[in-house]
Amino acid sequence: MGELARSLQEKVRQGRCLDAAFEHKTVNVPDLATERRWPKFGAEALGLGARSMLVSNCSSKATTWGALNLYSRASEAFDCESEQKGLLVAAQAAVALAGTQKAEQLRYAAQSRDVIGQAKGILMERYKVTSEQAFLLLASVSSHSNTKLVHIACHLVRSGSLPSADGEPLNR
């Protein structure tokens, strides 16, 4: 039901999940049969068997990750206690997602640093330059080609050469 409801909200561009995510709030829909805020979504969701919904914003300090959606075939299935529990689960999900994102950023940073170090080593050995000079050469090529330094480094490590001066695009 969750994937269908998400697809349905994207299709009709309205729904309680979008409201919860963008307005940073909990949305309790006691009965879709009488709900007037999202007429297209409500009608189609009823057709899929949903009668009531509870949606809790899933966000951290800096990022809205989306929303936690709970559905019931019964009307008025969610009360104040359900809302509090939904917020608690959504907050835990946001913490987990933020931790995953941070870990991914750290992994990317470590990989970037590693490949830049490899590229500097190639340049240092080839041209008998210092680490600082090798870095400045990579930075110069990056600046002149308007290409991220890590992509220049990857190209050098893969191909053994710096990109040509004619602005030949890199395979990133």
Name which of 61-75, 81-95, 103-117 the model is least confident about. Answer: 61-75
CATH of domain 104-159: 1.10.10.10
Indicate if the pLDDT at residue 138 is higher than 50: yes
Domain ranges of the chain: 2-78, 104-159
Are 78 and 52 in contact by the 8 Å Cβ rule? The answer is yes
Kindly report the three-state secondary structure assignment for every residue of the chain. CHHHHHHHHHHHCCCHHHHHHHHCCCEEECCCCCCCCCHHHHHHHHHHCCCEEEEEEEECCCCEEEEEEEEECCCCCCCHHHHHHHHHHHHHHHHHHHHHHHHHHHHHHHHHHHHHHHHHHHHHHHHCCCHHHHHHHHHHHHHHHCCCHHHHHHHHHHHCCCCCCCCCCCCC
Q: Which of 50-64, 98-112, 158-172 has the highest average model confidence (pLDDT)?
A: 98-112
pLDDT at 96: 92
In DSSP terms, 57 is beta-bridged to 67
Q: Which of 35-39, 85-89, 164-168 has the highest average model confidence (pLDDT)?
A: 85-89
Indicate if the pLDDT at residue 1 is higher than 50: yes
Q: Tokens at residue 126, please? A: 């080839």
pLDDT at 2: 55
pLDDT at 172: 46
Q: What global pTM score does this model have?
A: 0.61
Question: Is 104-159 the same fold as 2-78?
Answer: no
Q: Tokens at residue 164, please? A: 């040509």
Indicate if the pLDDT at residue 84 is higher than 60: yes
Superfamily of domain 2-78: GAF domain (3.30.450.40)
Average pLDDT over residues 58-85: 90
Q: Which residue is listed with tokens 């809790």?
A: 56
Residue 60 binned pLDDT confidence (cut-offs 50, 70, 90): confident
Residue 159 binned pLDDT confidence (cut-offs 50, 70, 90): very high
Average pLDDT over residues 74-90: 95
